[in-house]
Structure 1
Amino acid sequence: MSRMPTFPTAKTMASSTLSRVLPMALLLTGDIVSAQTYKIDSDSDIKSTAKSLAENVLTYYHGNESGQTPGILPGPPPAGDYYWWEGGALWGTLIDYWHYTGDDSYNDLITQAMLWQVGPNKDYMPPNVTASLGNDDQGFWGMSAMLAAEVNFPDPPSDQPQWLSLAQAVFNTQADPGRHDDTCGGGLRWQIPFSNNGYDYKNSIANGCFFNLGARLARYLDNQTYADWAEKTWDWVTSVGLMDSDYRIYDGAHVETNCTDINKAQFSYNNAVYLLGAAHMYNYTNGDSKWETRLNGLVDATIRDFFKNNVAYEISCEEHMTCTTDMLSFKGYLHRWMTTLTQIAPTTATKILPVLQKSAQAAVNQCTGPPDGKTCGFGWSSGTFDDSVGAGQTMNVLGAVSSLLVGSAKAPVTNSSGGTSAGNFNAGSGSNSFTNTPAPITTGDKAGAGILTAIVLASALGTFAWMSLGA
């Protein structure tokens, strides 16, 4: 039986604190012009805007077309802009869209995509992405599967792998001793095959995805083993210095230095992934004071570091627009996961939801780009379209907008509170064989979600010690 601590209902907390902010006029070429196309002043406005944004983001997807590969966005570079992991992130965004709006137009597409990429061992390690497969890449697909279980997204056919089982498979492969070693005192490496660029790097996002999954599985299944892994991972991240006492989360460090050369770049998806995991640990432990302190500290630090005047802002790359394609999608995870944590830990809602409301308003204000006056850019704080377009930029705004409906959405379920997804505690067993086998290197051999460490952001991060990775 899954423990369900007594908290104020998420619906009551969210509805009482989520206010609607009136649309702002845009300052364009020195004149005040009402150029805003999208509205979020009412639930019907939000649903209409989210519907349009979902349609727009899927214009970047071609996996349902003849001769294309289901599940992935065009790529990886140089064949296209996107690494494998971002496809998994897209489906999570659209699962949340369905959950909040009730629009099931894309459910079959989501299911096809999520199942096509599971790989032969049903653990989200398809062989065709081995040369750029990181623990974080696999983790994003696993977290989308976990989300599907938590919001009761329609279960796949019985002869196909189930959402909960897929999440467990990802967790189990990452908990396998083959993924862990004594360097830096523990922790997951960034990459999985040792031949990949970045195998010598241990970073926050790889360990954050593992922590996040462990915490969510602990709550969903009321299982202490998952919670123990989550606690162990958090403790390692803080002990090595990837998260400091002020809850700043840094990118990573190399094993050759015993993880002492910490790259102090900060990215919003790191905060978001740990926030959601910490909220689940707080919930699972019935509001334990330790997790309450950690959660509240991280909430405050995230608002401090990643919301400029209460508008989402990617501090390590946005000022000089040195963000990579991967980084251009981080704001959406920040909005989505901070929203969900207000349901898991409702006492945070009064602090978080007004910030997210203002940020979402800024997001839609700048969606005025061509050809239809509805194209979204990346920089939200200026209120004007910045010509930065792509799947990530649109996913960001879709996640921010659809999450505004949280007040009327059901909180994530567990297997004892209405969850229907079938699990398998042994899923993923014996799936790590290729971790000790050299993988072929291709021209697209760069890491996925962790590509941020491969780019030298000298203009924005002159004080950071960036590593350089070859193609």
Structure 2
Amino acid sequence: MSSITRCLHLLCLAPAVVLGALEVDLNSKESIKNAAKQVAYDLMTYYHGNESGHVPGILPGPPPDGDYYWWQGGALWGAMVDYWHYTGDDTYNDVVFEALQFQVGDDEDYAPRNWSLSLGNDDQSFWGMSAMLAAENKFRDPPRDKPQWIALAQAVFNDQAAPDHYDGICGGGMRWQIAPTNKGYDYKNTIANGCFFNIASRLARYFNNETYAEWAIKTFDWIHDVGYIDEDWNVFDGGHVQYNCTDINKQQYSYNAAILLSGAGYMYEYTNGSKVWEDRINGLLDGMERVFFVNGTLYEPSCEGGFCTSDMLSYKGYVHRWLAVTTLTAPFTRDRIMKLLRSSAELAVKQCTGGANGRQCGFHWTTGVYDGQTGAGQEMNVLGALTSLLVDGASPPVTNSTGGTSIGNPNAGNPKTTLAQATPVTTGDKAGAGILTAFVLGTTITGVIFMALD
């Protein structure tokens, strides 16, 4: 299909634009699906990668060319995979498929060389987590000669488990940025390590493999032991290596806590209901409910009432989606989480009254009143809020023994040397984890771009 044909195909299949506030009956799954369909349409109007002259996979940017960084494209496709999974609407599946395949990079590990000057470990991980989600939700598999979903997630894991990513400074953990010349290379933060923990825990569950599980445990323990999680289950942002990561930035971001909670849910299932992971899930939920929910509605304390970056404007959708999947991997959380998801979604949709069509969504949910701030992040947030309410009765993430069809590759990515598997390899698509011992960055750094936040 040509780019123009793809664009026309998308518009033909999209629902007609209906003027008026977003209306939804939260007691009706059909009504929730219809509302999600409208929000998905509005969200996809921000994407132009399927049009001639634009790059597939990415939202307009990065600044000053647009509001969005490369990683937010990866996050968008995770939201759209979940949208298809929970609603059954495949309108955008071809666009999602093309986007996730186009950005894999030369080494098929979501580290494209043309993005190396702004590539963080968390950026790479968001694309890897969307590929992982495609495998877990049984999204259409690529042809055998193309990168496979689960192998792409393994490639991201392999890159990040290498010593030049996961070093011994501060006792372990990964730096925020990948290239030594990038602003933030001296910073080890929760989101980079939380994403790695999340991918490792999901690969452990998917392959029933202890090597991945050991990396997940090691990473969670490091985040806790370095002080990024305190005794009250506050989750802090990070610290600098020149201070041995003791200068902890105690800013709290909702997606930091949520990425850990989601990974803990996968580990709870992998360990058959371990009390250790049950306690961690309950602790993280306690902290999230105390810090990030105001009268049951999701709130971002780091920026509401002040300035929010385009990154922060998309966190609420991830939180809703990651809370939802935790009800499937750790069912004891269902009643508590669903109560939060419903009360939060109620005010989220209430404020979708803006824009030319009268249903664009803003960022501030607690007032229930549209704040005039529209964007892809705001639409992604409300789409995540709506689809999270459809998790009841949804099929759980599959594994390679419960219906998964994605083909794995334990040596995926850019490995130079690999260690023996922790469990015997039986078939190519059911192999265990391959751990890297070396990794060479595949590009010469010619300049440095200024990152939004350090």
Task: Name the TM-score, length of structure 2 as normaliser.
Answer: 0.89
Listed one character per residue, the Cα deviations across residues 30-81 of structure 1 (whole Å, up to 9, x for unaligned) are xxxxx85321331111111000000000111000110100000001111111
CA deviation after TM superposition for structure 1 residue 181, in Å: 2.0
Residue 373 (structure 2) pairs with residue 383 (structure 1): no
Match of 1:348 in 2: 333
Q: Name the aligned partner's letter for residue 441 of structure 2.
A: T
1:109-258 pair list within 5 angstroms: 109-258=95-244
Residue 86 of structure 2, aligned match among 74, 79, 100: 100
Question: 2:152, 2:352 → 1: CA distance?
Answer: 35
Q: Name the aligned partner's letter for residue 439 of structure 1.
A: I
Listed one character per residue, the Cα deviations across residues 291-311 of structure 1 (whole Å, up to 9, x for unaligned) are 111111111111111111100
Listed one character per residue, the Cα deviations across residues 398-430 of structure 1 (whole Å, up to 9, x for unaligned) are 011012111121011111001111111111142
Question: 1:391, 1:437 → 2: CA distance?
Answer: 31
Question: 2:129, 2:233 → 1: CA distance?
Answer: 23
Listed one character per residue, the Cα deviations across residues 3-34 of structure 1 (whole Å, up to 9, x for unaligned) are xxxxxxxxxxxxxxxxxxxxxxxxxxxxxxxx
Q: Check whether the contact 1:246–1:301 (CA below 8 A) recurs between aligned residues.
A: yes
Q: Name the aligned partner's letter for residue 327 of structure 1.
A: M
Listed one character per residue, the Cα deviations across residues 289-339 of structure 1 (whole Å, up to 9, x for unaligned) are 11111111111111111111100000111122x110000000000000000
Question: 1:44, 1:185 → 2: CA distance?
Answer: 50
Residue 441 (structure 2) pairs with residue 435 (structure 1): yes
Q: Check whether the contact 1:162–1:421 (CA below 8 A) recurs between aligned residues.
A: yes
CA deviation after TM superposition for structure 1 residue 180, in Å: 2.2
Q: Name the aligned partner's letter for residue 257 of structure 2.
A: N
Of 431-440 and 396-405, the range deviating more from structure 2: 431-440
Listed one character per residue, the Cα deviations across residues 329-369 of structure 1 (whole Å, up to 9, x for unaligned) are 00000000000000011110011101100100110000000
Residue 402 of structure 1, aligned match among 365, 387, 390: 387
Question: 2:169, 2:87 → 1: CA distance?
Answer: 46
Q: Name the aligned partner's letter for residue 193 of structure 1.
A: A
Match of 1:11 in 2: none
Residue 327 (structure 2) pairs with residue 370 (structure 1): no
Residue 303 of structure 2, aligned match among 317, 320, 326: 317
Question: 1:325, 1:422 → 2: CA distance?
Answer: 35
Question: 1:75, 1:222 → 2: CA distance?
Answer: 39
CA deviation after TM superposition for structure 1 residue 210, in Å: 0.2
Ranked by relative contact order (alpha carbons within 8 Å, sequence separation 6 or more), the top structure is: 1
Match of 2:271 in 1: 285
Q: Check whether the contact 2:162–2:439 (CA below 8 A) recurs between aligned residues.
A: no
Residue 331 of structure 1, aligned match among 316, 321, 344: 316
Question: 2:440, 2:78 → 1: CA distance?
Answer: 27
Q: Check whether the contact 1:178–1:435 (CA below 8 A) recurs between aligned residues.
A: no
Residue 287 (structure 2) pairs with residue 305 (structure 1): no
Question: 1:164, 1:99 → 2: CA distance?
Answer: 17
Which 4+ stretches in 1 moved above 6 angstroms? none
CA deviation after TM superposition for structure 1 residue 122, in Å: 0.3
Report the count of equivalent residues: 413
Q: Check whether the contact 1:40–1:361 (CA below 8 A) recurs between aligned residues.
A: no
CA deviation after TM superposition for structure 1 residue 251, in Å: 0.7
Residue 273 of structure 1, aligned match among 256, 259, 265: 259
Match of 1:8 in 2: none
Q: Assess, with a 3 A threshold, how the Cα gap between structure 1 residues 68 and 196 changes in structure 2: closer, same or farther.
A: same
2:188 aligned counterpart, secondary structure: strand
How high is the sequence identity, in percent, across the aligned residues?
58
1:202 aligned counterpart, secondary structure: strand
Residue 23 (structure 2) pairs with residue 59 (structure 1): no
Question: 1:247, 1:304 → 2: CA distance?
Answer: 10
Q: Check whether the contact 1:194–1:436 (CA below 8 A) recurs between aligned residues.
A: no
Q: Name the aligned partner's letter for residue 62 of structure 1.
A: H
Q: Name the aligned partner's letter for residue 330 of structure 2.
A: A
Provide the alpha-carbon RMSD of the alignment: 1.3
Question: 1:304, 1:52 → 2: CA distance?
Answer: 32
Q: Name the aligned partner's letter for residue 93 of structure 1.
A: A
2:239 aligned counterpart, secondary structure: strand
Residue 281 (structure 2) pairs with residue 295 (structure 1): yes
CA deviation after TM superposition for structure 1 residue 438, in Å: 5.1
1:385 aligned counterpart, secondary structure: coil
Question: 2:441, 2:107 → 1: CA distance?
Answer: 14
